């Protein structure tokens, strides 16, 4: 059975800039849903790679590349609260 996507799970945005070897945590205290809003932004510099570190049902997972885009356009993704 496939687990539902934990949209409200704790998440951290990590970035890898040109020349970096590892991702460095940049923004903490997010949910997976709000992290996707940041990570799927097409205005991010081309020299920066984005990774979302998320607690996916008790296991830390790294989401990057095409998977970020797939989750950000998922029709089951809940809307973010309006500020």
Q: In the chain, what percentage of residues exceed pLDDT 70?
A: 96
CA distance 11 to 50: 13
Contact 50, 36 (CB under 8 A): no
Q: What is the pLDDT of residues 33-73, one digit of tens each?
A: 999 999 988 787 777 899 999 999 999 999 999 999 999 99
Coil, strand, or helix at residue 14?
strand
User: Which letter does DSSP use for residue 78 in this model?
Assistant: P
Give the chain's largest Cα–Cα span: 41
């Amino acid at each position: 059975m496939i687990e539902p996507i934990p949209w409200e799970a704790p998440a951290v945005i990590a970035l890898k800039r040109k020349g970096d070897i590892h991702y460095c945590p940049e923004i903490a205290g997010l949910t997976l849903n709000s992290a996707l809003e940041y990570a799927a932004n097409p205005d991010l510099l081309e020299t920066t790679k984005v990774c979302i570190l998320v607690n996916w049902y008790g296991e830390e997972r790294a989401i990057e590349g095409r998977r970020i885009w797939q989750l950000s356009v998922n029709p089951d993704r809940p809307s973010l609260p309006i500020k």
